[in-house]
């Protein structure tokens, strides 16, 4: 619980004046109890709740105030008490060294400071949780984008596989067609070679036929000549035979 919620500034001034009046009887004893600060050990102390306590140059209310008031929960370095145990020697983190009444110090942090610290820690954790949630949302968005990219990549890969399969099929057909072309080319060459042989054989046969026809014509001519020569002779012979009868 913070001091500003319980005390107004006028009340604090009245309280400080009353505190100063209450410390007047102990001024004489406190003056004798001041000794050197170098040999004292230091500890951590906290200003108690619900008060602004001034820091003085010496252990007494008549000493000059060097800090008008430390708020509750302020962490200070504690060097020890005066002999009467009323005043405590402290030093602030800002380097102000002096005395304040020991009743306003305690070893543990005040509850208000603890609550404030817990609230600050809670606020930090809430902010951290919010940041983690934002990071998680961003990671989920990135994951969704990555999933979409992976889906697109998978579709592209599938299309590439289909294209590759088509290329392989076309390539296989091309290879098969090439093999068939080569086979047909070989058969055509064989057929052409056979055709050439047949043409040669046909030419030979034509030559033979022509030769045979020539021979037949010659033979026929010879036969005709022979017949032409023999027929008159046969006629004469018949005539002679007929005359003898």
Q: For 104-122, what is each residue's pLDDT tens digit?
A: 888 887 776 667 777 888 8
Kindly report the length of the chain. Answer: 245
At 170 the three-state DSSP class reads: helix
The pLDDT, as a whole number, for residue 61 is 83
Non-local (6+) Cβ contacts of 50 within 8 A are 1, 3, 6, 7, 72, 112
d(CA 145, CA 192): 68
d(CA 224, CA 219): 8
DSSP H or E run through 77: strand 75-81
Domain ranges of the chain: 3-108, 110-207
| Tens of pLDDT, residues 205-225 | 888 888 777 887 888 888 888
Q: Taking 60 as the threshold, does the pLDDT of residue 54 lie above it?
A: yes
The pLDDT, as a whole number, for residue 12 is 52
- 59-94 burial by CB neighbour count: b if 16+ within 10 A, else e? bbbebeeebebbebbbebebbbbbeeebbbbbbbee
The pLDDT, as a whole number, for residue 90 is 92
The correct answer on CATH 2.30.30.40 for the domain covering 3-108 is yes
Tell me phi and psi for residue 75, to 5 degrees: -85, 130
| Tens of pLDDT, residues 138-156 | 898 888 888 788 888 888 8
Mean pLDDT of the 53-75 span: 85
**Token reading at 40:** 């004292």
């Amino acid at each position: 619980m913070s001091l500003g919620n319980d005390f107004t500034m006028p009340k604090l001034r009245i309280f400080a004046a009353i505190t100063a009046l209450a410390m007047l009887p102990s001024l004489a004893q406190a003056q004798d109890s001041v000794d050197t600060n170098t040999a004292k050990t230091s500890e951590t102390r906290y200003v108690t709740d619900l008060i602004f306590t001034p820091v003085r140059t010496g252990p007494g209310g008549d000493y000059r105030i060097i800090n008008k008031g430390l708020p509750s929960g302020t962490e200070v370095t504690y060097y020890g008490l005066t002999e009467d145990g009323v005043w405590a020697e402290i030093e602030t983190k800002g380097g102000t060294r002096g005395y304040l009444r020991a009743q306003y110090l305690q070893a543990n942090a005040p509850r208000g400071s603890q609550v404030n610290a817990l609230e600050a820690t809670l606020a930090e954790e809430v902010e951290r949780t919010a940041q983690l949630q934002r990071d998680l949302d961003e990671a989920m968005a990135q994951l969704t984008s990555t999933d979409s990219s992976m889906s697109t990549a998978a579709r592209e890969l599938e299309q590439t596989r289909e294209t590759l399969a088509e290329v392989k099929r076309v390539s296989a057909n091309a290879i098969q067609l090439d093999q068939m072309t080569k086979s047909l080319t070989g058969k055509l060459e064989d057929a052409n070679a056979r055709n050439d042989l047949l043409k040669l054989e046909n030419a030979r046969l034509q030559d033979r036929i022509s030769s045979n026809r020539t021979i037949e014509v010659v033979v026929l001519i010879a036969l005709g000549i022979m017949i032409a020569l023999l027929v008159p002779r046969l006629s004469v012979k018949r005539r002679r035979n007929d005359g003898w009868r």
